[in-house]
Chain A
């Protein structure tokens, strides 16, 4: 199964941008990069996903390295409600299950 490596924890000040890194050096050409986050006492929720190009949505941006061996989730202005565990997950084409790691716990300081 595809593996990802993320820092255990990060801190950010409120209203500042946050860059959450993820390394996936064993990624294959058909693996999509997915990001989910899990707020306290809730199930994970979808944030964003991409294959090769950088992606933007209302929640975040995803910057994918040219060699696809790493990616960065960007929260443009962190709020207290963004405090959560963020998971970077690889999902191969034609598969259905997510293989979660331990994720990055983001702490947002007021």
Chain B
């Protein structure tokens, strides 16, 4: 079956612009996660959705970052007034249940964001 998909695969924008990154999780997965990965580092947690609600947004770096999942499936990560330091690969993952410690997360290929 289809895995997690993310669009666009690459996004180049200018400093100060607004961007939206989309994640399509595996059908039926109730949990969805966003991570950010800088060059040479492991992924860093940003936010977690259980259904439509953000159960934990403690990883969002500041109020320029916001994410939604209005119907409990597709999610959009929104970044306002982009800065060069926002340049990274943004990864999305989904899992069936989330709160089970054996629950596997399935990652998408990521969106590479470059802020000029």
Q: Which residues of A contact B (CB under 8 A)?
A: 30, 32, 41-46, 49, 85, 87, 91-103
Q: Are A98 and B105 in contact (CB under 8 A)?
A: yes
Chain B contacts with A in 6-62, Cβ cutoff 8 A: 31, 33, 35, 40-45, 48, 55-56, 59
Q: Which residues of B contact A (CB under 8 A)?
A: 4, 31, 33, 35, 40-45, 48, 55-56, 59, 91, 93, 95, 98-99, 101-110
State in angstroms the CA–CA spacing of A101 and B99 once bound together: 21
Considering the complex, give the chain B residue whose CB is closest to the CB of A103: B42
Chain B residues, CB < 8 A from A100: 35, 42-44
Most chain B beta-carbon neighbours within 10 Å: one of A32, A98, A102, A103? A98
Interface of B is mostly: loop
Chain B contacts for A96, CB-based, 8 A:
31, 33, 48, 55-56, 95, 98-99, 103
Assess the A43–B45 pair: CB atoms within 8 A. Answer: no
Within the assembled complex, what's the spacing in Å between the Cα atoms of A96 and B50?
Answer: 10
Q: Is the CB of B101 within 8 A of A93?
A: yes
* Contact residues of A: prevailing secondary structure: loop
Closest 6 CB pairs of A and B: A100-B42, A43-B107, A96-B98, A97-B45, A46-B104, A32-B101
Q: Is the CB of B42 within 8 A of A94?
A: no
Which residue of chain B is the closest to A31 with respect to CB atoms?
B101
For A91, the chain B residues whose CB sits under 8 A away are 101
What is the bound-complex CA distance between A44 and B102, given in angstroms? 16
Q: How long is the Cα–Cα vector from A92 to B99 in the complex, in angstroms?
A: 10
